[in-house]
Amino acid sequence: MEKDILEIFYNEIIPESSFGKVEAFFTFNIGFNTLIEQQKITENNIKVPHTLIPTLIIKDKDKFNKLLIEYTIKAIEFYGNVIYDTEYDKNSPGYKSEYLKSIISLLWSNATSEDFANPCEYIQKRINFFSKEDILFEDLSVETSIGNIKYEIKKDEIFNETPYYIQFEINGNPMPVVRYGISSDKAYIYAIQNLTKLTRDKKLNRAMYKVNDGLDVKSEYTDNIEHPENLIGITPSTLISATLAISLFKRNGINHIEIVPYLPERWNAKEIAYYRSSKRQTNSEEYLTLQHNKHLEIQRNLTDKFLRTFRRIEYHFEGIEITSYPFVNSENMTMEIGDNLKSNNPLLLELYNSLNKEYKM
């Protein structure tokens, strides 16, 4: 299998990715340039507007190969032998090759531009993400003023950003899940989102709005990034899930959190799809502009709300500090969690402490 993994990556994925079209069961709109030990392997052949094509920089090919093999084998063990619908016959001659190609291709869909520049560190991080046992996340149940909180660590699908997600429930009402990974005593949060559209208990919804206590909404609006009026509009359930997740990380000795706001391949994949679709339209340029503008607005709103959730947490907690903003010192937002936190919001402090202190089942 090791030989197959490397042959598929170097002989199929690398050349196909230079055109933004990797074929494995179906088309993956994944595109990157490749530089191996200072030698350019592929040129950028992706002539699609509004794409930012990263470059995979392999500095140590032997180390990279070993890590890629290790990751692929662990991914097979974790996700199982079938990751697609049963319409694909896993006993067919080409299934194994397409399956390996899919796993390796999807690895790059969750990489930041910095990850492409440091692929050995990135692949090691993704390997570490599989190790749930590294963190003592016992499932537990605690009582709070807004109800009984339960949580569970669940395996995610290979198409999503991380191998695991945290599912919180309050009085049986599902809260937004937190897609995360753990590596080298750091927590990486890629998304906080509802799995399905749902209606929560009205009493719980009213109680959750107490997270707005302590937020000064009457202050004059300014463009200052720290101004509290810029923090209005965060969904209470999202803020609660983020607070509970941070509490769990701190409870298990993790003080450093990286919030990952942008994955270039996921952005590019949609822009490439719009571009190809535009070629079948009567007014292709108008169609492409319309689709790009919609995509840009949706992505901007999602990213802005995602980041403002953590700025809002910093605003409410004394002892939580954002130490880096995206695209200032690095691509990610970084947050440090201190000890003995204080808060201007009693409910958020209660929820944080509920999972962070000693408890009885």
Q: Are strands 186-193 and 256-259 parallel, antiparallel or unpaired?
A: parallel
Last residue of a domain, one of 129, 157, 179: 129
Is residue 21 included in any domain, yes or no?
yes
Identify whether residues 107 and 22 lie together within a single domain: yes
Could you tell me which residue, 111 or 200, shows the higher pLDDT?
Answer: 111
Is residue 207 included in any domain, yes or no?
yes
Is residue 227 included in any domain, yes or no?
yes
Identify whether residues 349 and 215 lie together within a single domain: yes
Identify whether residues 168 and 69 lie together within a single domain: no
Last residue of a domain, one of 104, 129, 154: 129
Alpha-helical (H) ranges within 20-163 are 61-79, 95-108, 113-117, 119-129
- The residue type at 126: R
Is residue 288 included in any domain, yes or no?
no
pLDDT band, residue 222 (cuts 50/70/90)? very low
Last residue of a domain, one of 101, 129, 157: 129
Query: pLDDT tens across 257-270, in order?
Result: 999 999 999 999 99
pLDDT of residue 358: 42
pLDDT of residue 9: 97
pLDDT of residue 28: 92
Pairwise CA distance, residues 291 & 254, whole Å: 41
Q: Which two tokens stand for residue 314?
A: 């910093």
H/E stretch holding 23: strand 22-24
Residues 6+ apart with CB under 8 A from 26: none
Is residue 272 included in any domain, yes or no?
no
Is residue 150 included in any domain, yes or no?
yes
Query: pLDDT tens across 206-217, in order?
Result: 999 999 988 876
Identify whether residues 342 and 196 lie together within a single domain: yes
Listed residue (97, 79, 109, 114) closest to 9, CA to CA: 97
Is residue 187 included in any domain, yes or no?
yes
pLDDT of residue 44: 85
Query: pLDDT tens across 296-333, in order?
Result: 999 999 999 999 999 999 999 999 999 999 988 789 99
Query: pLDDT tens across 18-68, in order?
Result: 999 999 888 999 999 999 998 988 888 998 999 999 999 999 999 999 999
Identify whether residues 337 and 194 lie together within a single domain: yes
Q: Which two tokens stand for residue 109?
A: 């869909």
Residue pair 261/306 in contact by the 8 Å Cβ criterion: yes
pLDDT of residue 82: 58
> Angle CA(324)–CA(326)–CA(329) in degrees, nearest 5?
55
Query: pLDDT tens across 145-193, in order?
Result: 999 999 989 999 999 999 999 999 999 999 999 999 999 999 999 999 9
> How many domains does the chain fold into?
2
Identify whether residues 192 and 100 lie together within a single domain: no
Identify whether residues 119 and 216 lie together within a single domain: no
Identify whether residues 52 and 120 lie together within a single domain: yes
Q: What is the DSSP secondary structure assignment for residue 11, as one 8-state letter? A: I
The fraction of the chain above a pLDDT of 70, given in percent, is: 90
Query: Torsions phi, psi of 202, nearest 5?
Result: -60, -35
Identify whether residues 86 and 220 lie together within a single domain: no
Q: Tell me which residue range forms the domain holding 26.
A: 2-129
Provide the β-strand partners of residue 27: 23
Query: Torsions phi, psi of 238, nearest 5?
Result: -65, -45
Identify whether residues 121 and 176 lie together within a single domain: no
The DSSP line for 149-202 is EEEEEEEPPTTSSSSEEEEEEETTEEPPEEEEEEETTEEEEEEEE-SS-----H
| Long-range CB contact pairs, 82-85, < 8 A, 24+ | 83/157, 83/158, 84/25
**Average pLDDT score, the chain:** 89
Identify whether residues 103 and 196 lie together within a single domain: no
Identify whether residues 165 and 182 lie together within a single domain: yes
Is residue 286 included in any domain, yes or no?
no
Query: pLDDT tens across 82-137, in order?
Result: 555 546 667 777 888 999 999 999 999 999 999 999 999 999 999 999 986 545 55
